[in-house]
Amino acid sequence: MKLKKLLGLASVALASTLLLAACGGSKSASNDSKLKVGIMTLDDATEPLWDKVKELAKDKGVEIELVEFTDYNQPNEALQNGEVDVNAFQHKYFLNNWNSENKGTLVEAADTLLSPIRIFSGTENGKAKYTDVKDIPNKATISVPNDASNESRALYLLQSAGLIKLDVNGDELATIKNISSNPKDLDIKEVDAAQTASTLSSVDAAIVNNSYAQAAKVDYKTTLYKEAVDKNSDQWVNVIAAQKDWKKSDKAKAIKTLISVYQTDEVGKVIQDASNNVDIPAWKGAKVSSKD
């Protein structure tokens, strides 16, 4: 009788152990399919984008939890510390610079979108002076942002537009001193990035960051040339960033699912529609509307 009782207790213990193991396994599998994504505070352009990404990911068994931040350094700190699984808010230059300044080890997991900067025509009596970048005359004045990263980006844009040539490549920051050819003898006027839009009435053209162009209500129909996804703009392409060993982590499958649903025509269309064609999808093979 005593032996039977002991065997009975052992059976109960074994069953309990198996039940706990099963529950533990189920919980682990569930966690593997959940992904914390660090982003900046949602706005009118990004909310529809992430709604679509979450919907597509859920269809493939991955639940995405968005973690919003208000400071541009916070998402990388959170990712480096493991508080989020990936983040999606920055371009490659920002990521590389953050790693350098913070001894970070974060890596690019996938390309997402580009917010192209533009050459806007100068205005006269409220109307655009030119309708094509080729119309910019000799000795024209073009204002560009004067901070290191934005000025470099503006100079590469002028190179892409065929107006100047630089003696550095797209992976390096360019300055006025790097202009190796200026056939139209353009006067490149360096001003504070926040002031570029206000110079449009006094210059032939200006390169204005989207945030300032939208705040100043610059008419995007006055665009003379728009940044394209190419070697000159590669460092400004936004990415999904992850920890350096993400492919070996228990979140690898979920992250790959996130990338696969993000890089779809459906999401690409939302990127352009929700931003009024200010942003464009930037992954390889992405379909980009020609509308401005």
- H/E element holding 120? strand 118-121
Could you tell me if 125 and 220 lie in one domain?
A: yes
Note whether 153 and 163 are within 8 A (CB).
Answer: no
Could you tell me if 134 and 210 lie in one domain?
A: yes
Using DSSP, state whether 132 is helix, strand or coil: coil
Q: Which residue has the tokens 């470099």?
A: 152
> What DSSP state is assigned to residue 52?
H
Could you tell me if 62 and 124 lie in one domain?
A: no
Could you tell me if 205 and 141 lie in one domain?
A: yes
Could you tell me if 124 and 220 lie in one domain?
A: yes
Dump pLDDT digits (tens) for 206-257: 999 998 999 999 999 999 999 999 988 999 999 999 999 999 999 999 999 9
Structural domain includes residue 7? no
Query: How much is the pLDDT for 291?
Result: 67
Could you tell me if 125 and 219 lie in one domain?
A: yes
Residue 178 in tokens: 């790097």
Could you tell me if 108 and 168 lie in one domain?
A: no
- H/E element holding 166? strand 165-166
Note whether 146 and 206 are within 8 A (CB).
Answer: no
Query: The domain containing residue 132 runs over which residues?
Result: 118-226
The angle subtended at Cα 142 by Cα 138 and Cα 147, nearest 5°, is 145
Backbone angles phi, psi at 284, to 5 degrees: -60, 130
Could you tell me if 76 and 166 lie in one domain?
A: no
As for how many domains the chain has, the answer is: 2
Dump pLDDT digits (tens) for 122-173: 999 999 999 999 999 999 999 999 999 999 999 999 999 999 999 998 788 9
Backbone angles phi, psi at 202, to 5 degrees: -125, 5
Which of 226, 244, 264 is the last residue in one of the domains? Answer: 226
Dump pLDDT digits (tens) for 11-38: 434 344 333 334 444 333 457 899 999 9
39: CATH: 3.40.190.10
